[in-house]
């Protein structure tokens, strides 16, 4: 079986600056893949290229056997790519359930169905009790979960998670990890970007490490963390941050 | 149409354009500082014109001398409007944008009402000022003196504003606040003070413009409305928040207006300016000098 | 959960039906023509503001140029009737369709603009239309159009002896505008619009067609606004560019929704019911002197309400409170 998602030689330049250079990755069905790397490695750019926010300068993106390189984010969502945002983008004037209904409308045209689907997803993500609350009243950890719930409501084949675990307390992070596992258990493939390795390594089946816009290493998490190249990249980053 | 008349009208268009820039720059300044569009801007101009008129009519101070006084008065007025109205509008948790539009629009209506109440709806004009009705001939082109002086004042004001923003502590505080109001609070600058002074400055500049406009334009309670729209277009054309953009926008608006007046009947003269605005933003959605 | 929601929607419908029925009986007790006139205007503004609310309140595209669609509706009806003898009912429909088409044609370039650039573009476009109509001789130029009165009839939608037919038509119009909003609120469009208003990029990531959402909102909004304009032309039987397309008018249409509660179902109605009678009464009781006291009162009211209740007056009423904080 072919991979669910494949990027073929993607290069992305922003006014001369190369953010991604010849990046080819693939994500198989049912996998949880971690996309990691130090700050400025090009993770966010790659993530947004897959989600359709940017069109790559070179290369192509294939999803579920189809070339989606030129599709807008909305069209990719309809084909089964769901995403969250690193800086949460809740619909602040709407209630939690209404936020999720927006997502549920992708696959459900009848309002009653969309509403039912939204409630289902809220229960699944543990926000059931907060359905009627305005999104603006949620605490940060709940807003993260709302991001996931909205994306899940679109019934994606591939869920893109952008640093959903970063900045959470250990307990919240643990709940998050379990949620991601449960998502995968429903048959959804997960590609997650994280900066902090410690959180994701136990969770992912495979890790792809980006550095300076290129794929540095990819493989089993246990192997990746021991790879000297990865250690150097991260240490270098820590030095830079520390100085 | 001879070359001479074309140059003649372009020259007066340029002068008027500089004045438009001066009228609009306060709006641009305030927007740049705190993202608020003042829908009472035209009424600020209106009361400046009335102030000039009454200083002339009752104390016989010529508009040219009155201009600094009017600007100072408007400075105080602008700061007060911030402290008593806008400060609360920007604090609104819901619909902040609408609250800003309609609280300043409501203020505009109150000001128009007050002007009608105290000054009656009559049209007034300043009859015999030093500049009024005089023209000067430069290389065969006749330039009306009020507009010429107005244009010079506008240029001086823009130069002054440039140095003010870049060379004084307050100017730097103004710049810093527009960059990041939160961080500014951390270093001990009182945001409200900066905003109040910003509103004062913006109003003071339109006060200056009003004093000069009073020399050659009728003064009546609704006079602001006709210039307010031009001011919005000027600011948006240049790019919201850009002081230099307001200057350039004003010149463009003045020249386009003069050009339109040559081609189309006078009743259509504003169409040219509006069309140019649309053309510009359709190509550059953030105006000529707005950050993309 | 689902049942709660359905019953709340139904309750809103019942409340609306109750108020509509109540409004319909008012003329039985109020015979004063002056008061009836105010009631007609109140209903008309409720409908217009409801229409404006769809594009600006729900979808978040603040239009300050809706006078354009009002004017187009008024002019289409009046011109078709005076020049070609087309009955106002068809004129009304034509005006609505023309306005919706123009709104979408204008939306094509304008919806790329953000925030104030969009709002100013809407002002400017309406102003251009105003100037063009002022110079369009065939359409009466600045003098406008005097609609000749034939005789009182529903066919030509003209009534000179009584205001009541206008009143009932305006009531129906307000009800239709409310119903359309009510229906759209719980439809794909309603959710899309609010998502687009709150966060367009998040909306797009959830499969929302942002551009077409705005186009749809613009078309519905313009159509309903134009119907209001057609009605107004019949009601006053004289129109000129300034009185149906002026910039002030665009703001007056927006005000009830803003003060009542922007982006809410009841906001425009509540805003109109409070604002329009107050405006008209202050105008005739303290504005008669021509000294602007009415403007002062009116302006102060706008400033105070918008500062004191930025979310609109609608939250003050318990019934609608639930509708707001759903």
C1 within domain boundaries? no
Cβ contact, residue pair C198, A91, below 8 Å = yes
Count of beta carbons in the 10 Å neighbourhood of residue C168: 15
Give the residue from chain A lying closest to C57, CA to CA.
Answer: A93
Cβ-based neighbours of C123, under 8 Å, separated by 6 or more: B229, B232, C64, C65, C247, C250
Pick from B100, B102, B78, B79: which is nearest to B91 by CA? B100
Cβ contact, residue pair C120, B113, below 8 Å = no
Cβ contact, residue pair B89, C306, below 8 Å = yes
How far is the C-alpha of B205 from the C-alpha of B211, rounded, in Å? 10
Rg (CA), chain B: 19
User: Which of B34, B98, B104, B268 to mutate to probe the C interface, most C CBs <10 Å?
Assistant: B98
A117 with A108: CB under 8 angstroms? yes
Per-residue pLDDT, B142: 82
> Would you say the ipTM is above 0.85?
yes
Give just the sign of the alpha carbon dihedral B154, B158, B159, B163: positive
Cβ contact, residue pair C117, B229, below 8 Å = no
Q: Is B194 on the interface with C (CB under 8 A)?
A: no
User: Which of A52, A93, A147, A148 to mutate to probe the C interface, most C CBs <10 Å?
Assistant: A93
Per-residue pLDDT, C183: 95
User: Which of B285, B287, B289, B290 to mutate to probe the C interface, most C CBs <10 Å?
Assistant: B285
How far is the C-alpha of B220 from the C-alpha of B50, rounded, in Å? 8
User: Which residues from chain A sit within 8 angstroms of residue C211, using beta carbons?
Assistant: none
* Same domain (yes/no): A133, A148: yes
Give the residue from chain B lying closest to C262, CA to CA.
Answer: B95
User: Which of B36, B92, B97, B106 to mutate to probe the C interface, most C CBs <10 Å?
Assistant: B106
3-state secondary structure of A201: coil
C145 within domain boundaries? yes
What is the tally of structural domains in chain C? 1
Local confidence pLDDT in tens for the 292 residues of chain B: 688 888 888 888 999 999 999 999 999 888 888 888 899 999 999 999 999 999 998 988 888 889 999 999 999 999 999 999 998 888 877 777 788 888 999 999 999 999 998 988 889 888 877 777 778 877 778 888 888 888 898 899 899 888 888 888 777 777 777 777 666 666 667 788 888 989 999 999 999 999 999 988 999 999 998 898 899 999 988 888 788 889 999 999 999 999 998 888 878 888 999 999 999 889 888 888 876 4
| Residue for token pair 């159009």 | C145
User: Which residues from chain B sit within 8 angstroms of residue C260, using beta carbons?
Assistant: none
C14 within domain boundaries? no
User: Which residues from chain C sit within 8 angstroms of residue A83, using beta carbons?
Assistant: 205
Q: Is A110 on the interface with C (CB under 8 A)?
A: no
C4 within domain boundaries? no
Cβ-based neighbours of A198, under 8 Å, separated by 6 or more: none
Which chains neighbour B (Cβ–Cβ under 8 Å, 3 or more pairs)? C
Per-residue pLDDT, B186: 66
Which chains neighbour A (Cβ–Cβ under 8 Å, 3 or more pairs)? C
Cβ contact, residue pair C206, A151, below 8 Å = yes
Cβ-based neighbours of B160, under 8 Å, separated by 6 or more: none
Rg (CA), chain A: 18
* Same domain (yes/no): A148, A96: yes
Per-residue pLDDT, A241: 41
Pick from B66, B219, B238: which is nearest to B158 by CA? B238
* Same domain (yes/no): A134, A179: no
Q: Is B114 on the interface with C (CB under 8 A)?
A: yes
Per-residue pLDDT, A231: 79
Å from C254 to nearest chain B CA?
A: 10
Per-residue pLDDT, C283: 79
Pick from B256, B278, B271, B273: which is nearest to C131 by CA? B271
| Residue for token pair 């990890």 | A177
Per-residue pLDDT, A1: 54
What is the tally of structural domains in chain A? 2
User: Which residues from chain C sit within 8 angstroms of residue B240, using beta carbons?
Assistant: 116-117
Q: Is C155 on the interface with B (CB under 8 A)?
A: no
User: Which residues from chain C sit within 8 angstroms of residue A94, using beta carbons?
Assistant: 194-195, 198
Q: Is A137 on the interface with C (CB under 8 A)?
A: no
Local confidence pLDDT in tens for the 243 residues of chain A: 578 999 999 999 888 788 888 999 999 999 999 998 888 888 889 999 999 999 999 999 999 989 999 999 999 999 999 999 999 999 998 999 999 999 999 999 999 999 999 999 999 999 999 999 999 999 988 999 999 999 999 999 999 999 888 888 888 888 889 999 999 999 999 999 987 777 788 889 999 998 888 888 888 888 888 888 887 877 665 544 433
Per-residue pLDDT, C289: 64
Q: Is C132 on the interface with B (CB under 8 A)?
A: yes
Per-residue pLDDT, C288: 62
Where among A98, A132, A154 does a domain terminate? A154
How far is the C-alpha of A45 from the C-alpha of C187, rounded, in Å? 35
* Same domain (yes/no): A105, A17: no
* Same domain (yes/no): A69, A92: no
User: Which residues from chain C sit within 8 angstroms of residue A82, using beta carbons?
Assistant: 205
How far is the C-alpha of C271 from the C-alpha of B264, rounded, in Å? 42
Where among A154, A170, A190 does a domain terminate? A154
Rg (CA), chain C: 19
Structural domain for C133, as ranges: 19-324
Q: Which stretches in chain C have pLDDT values below 70?
A: 1-2, 287-290, 318-326
* Same domain (yes/no): A47, A142: no
Question: Interface of chain C against chain A, CB under 8 Å?
Answer: 1-2, 5, 186-188, 191-192, 194-195, 197-199, 201-210, 263, 325-326
Cβ contact, residue pair C2, A116, below 8 Å = yes
* Same domain (yes/no): A73, A164: yes
User: Which residues from chain C sit within 8 angstroms of residue A106, using beta carbons?
Assistant: 206-207
B257 with B270: CB under 8 angstroms? yes
Per-residue pLDDT, C324: 44
User: Which residues from chain B sit within 8 angstroms of residue C311, using beta carbons?
Assistant: 93-95
Cβ-based neighbours of A207, under 8 Å, separated by 6 or more: A33, A34, A35, A36, A200, A201, A218, A219, A220, A221, A224
* Same domain (yes/no): A193, A166: yes
CATH number at residue C63: 1.10.3470
User: Which of B30, B97, B116 to mutate to probe the C interface, most C CBs <10 Å?
Assistant: B116
3-state secondary structure of B220: coil
Q: Is B271 on the interface with C (CB under 8 A)?
A: yes
- CB contacts < 8 A (A, C): 86
Per-residue pLDDT, A225: 81
C10 within domain boundaries? no
Cβ contact, residue pair A74, C209, below 8 Å = yes
- Interfacial C residues in 49-88 facing B (CB < 8 Å): 62
* Same domain (yes/no): A207, A113: no
Q: Which residue in B109, B271, B277 is closest to C131 by CB distance?
A: B271
Cross-strand bridge partners of residue B144: B135
Structural domain for A112, as ranges: 88-154
C79 within domain boundaries? yes
Where among A115, A139, A154 does a domain terminate? A154
């Amino acid at each position: 079986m072919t991979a669910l998602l494949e990027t073929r030689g993607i290069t992305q330049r922003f006014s001369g600056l190369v953010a991604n250079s010849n990046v080819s990755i693939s994500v198989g069905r049912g996998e949880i893949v971690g996309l990691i790397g130090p700050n400025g490695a090009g993770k966010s750019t790659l993530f947004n290229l897959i989600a359709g926010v940017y069109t790559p300068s070179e290369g192509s993106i294939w999803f579920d056997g189809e070339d989606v390189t030129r599709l807008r984010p909305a069209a990719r969502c309809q084909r089964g790519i769901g995403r969250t945002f690193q800086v949460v983008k809740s619909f602040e004037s709407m209630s939690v359930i209404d936020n999720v209904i927006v997502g549920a409308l992708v696959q459900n045209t009848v309002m009653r169905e969309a509403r039912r689907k939204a409630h289902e997803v809220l229960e699944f993500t543990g926000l059931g009790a907060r359905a009627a609350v305005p999104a603006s009243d949620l605490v940060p950890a709940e807003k993260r979960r709302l991001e996931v719930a909205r994306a899940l409501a679109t019934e994606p084949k591939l869920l893109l998670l952008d640093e959903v675990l970063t900045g959470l307390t250990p307990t919240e992070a643990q709940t998050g990890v379990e949620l991601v596992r449960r998502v995968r258990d429903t048959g959804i493939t997960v590609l997650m970007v994280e900066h902090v390795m410690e959180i994701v390594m136990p969770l992912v089946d495979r890790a792809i490490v980006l550095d300076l816009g290129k794929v540095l290493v990819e493989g089993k998490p246990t192997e990746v963390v021991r790879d000297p190249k990865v250690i150097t990249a991260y240490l270098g980053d820590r030095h830079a941050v520390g100085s | 149409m001879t070359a001479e008349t074309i140059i003649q009208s372009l020259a007066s268009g340029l002068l008027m354009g500089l004045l438009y820039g001066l009228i609009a720059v306060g709006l641009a300044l305030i927007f740049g500082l705190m993202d608020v569009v003042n829908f009472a801007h035209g009424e600020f101009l209106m009361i400046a014109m009335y102030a000039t008129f009454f200083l002339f009519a009752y104390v016989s101070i010529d508009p040219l001398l009155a201009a600094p006084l009017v600007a100072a008065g408007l400075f105080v007025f602008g700061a007060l409007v911030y402290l008593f109205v806008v400060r609360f509008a920007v604090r609104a948790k819901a619909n902040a944008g609408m609250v800003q539009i309609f609280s300043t629009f409501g203020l505009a209506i109150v000001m128009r009402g007050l002007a009608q109440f105290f000054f009656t709806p009559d049209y007034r004009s300043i009859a015999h000022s030093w500049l009024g009705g005089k023209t000067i001939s430069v290389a065969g082109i006749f330039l009306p003196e009020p507009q010429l002086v107005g244009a010079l004042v506008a240029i001086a004001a823009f130069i002054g504003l440039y140095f003010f923003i870049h060379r004084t502590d307050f100017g730097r505080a103004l710049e810093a606040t527009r960059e990041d109001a939160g961080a500014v609070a951390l270093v001990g600058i009182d945001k409200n003070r900066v905003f109040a002074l910003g509103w004062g400055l913006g109003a003071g500049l339109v006060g200056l413009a009003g004093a000069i406009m009073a020399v050659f334009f009728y003064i009546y309670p609704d006079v602001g409305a006709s210039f307010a729209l031009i001011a919005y277009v000027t600011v948006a054309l240049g790019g919201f928040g850009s002081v230099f953009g307001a200057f350039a926008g004003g010149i463009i608006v003045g020249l386009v207006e003069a050009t339109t007046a040559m081609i189309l009947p006078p009743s259509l003269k504003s169409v040219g300016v509006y069309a140019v605005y649309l053309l510009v933003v359709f190509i550059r959605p953030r105006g000529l000098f707005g950050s993309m | 959960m689902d049942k709660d929601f359905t019953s709340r929607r139904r309750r809103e419908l019942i409340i609306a039906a109750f108020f509509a029925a109540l409004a319909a009986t008012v003329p039985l007790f109020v015979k004063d023509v002056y008061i009836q006139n105010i009631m007609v205007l109140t209903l008309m503004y409720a409908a217009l503001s409801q229409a404006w609310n769809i594009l600006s309140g729900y979808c978040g595209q603040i239009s300050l140029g809706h006078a354009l669609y009002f004017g187009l509706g008024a002019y289409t009806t009046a011109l078709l009737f005076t020049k070609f003898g087309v009955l106002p009912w068809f004129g009304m429909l034509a005006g609505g369709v023309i306005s919706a088409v123009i709104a979408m044609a204008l939306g094509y370039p304008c919806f790329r603009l953000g925030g104030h650039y969009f709002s100013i573009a809407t002002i400017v476009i309406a102003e251009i239309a105003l100037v063009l109509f002022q110079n369009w001789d065939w359409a009466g130029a600045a003098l406008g159009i005097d609609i000749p009165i034939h005789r009182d009839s529903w066919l030509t939608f003209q009534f000179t002896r009584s205001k009541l037919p206008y009143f009932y038509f305006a009531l129906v119009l307000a009800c239709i505008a409310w119903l359309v909003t009510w229906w759209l609120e719980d439809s794909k469009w309603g959710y899309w619009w609010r998502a687009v208003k709150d966060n367009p990029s998040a909306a797009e990531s959830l499969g929302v067609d942002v551009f077409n959402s705005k186009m749809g909102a613009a078309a519905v909004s313009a159509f309903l606004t134009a119907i209001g304009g057609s009605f107004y032309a019949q009601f006053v039987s004289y129109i000129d560019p300034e009185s149906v397309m002026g910039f002030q008018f665009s703001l007056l249409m927006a005000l009830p929704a803003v003060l009542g509660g922007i982006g809410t179902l009841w906001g425009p109605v509540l805003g109109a019911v409070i604002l329009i009678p107050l405006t008209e009464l202050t105008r005739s009781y303290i504005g008669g002197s021509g000294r602007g006291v009415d403007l002062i009162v009116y302006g102060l009211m706008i400033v105070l309400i918008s500062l004191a209740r930025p979310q609109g007056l609608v939250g003050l009423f318990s019934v609608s409170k639930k509708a707001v904080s759903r």
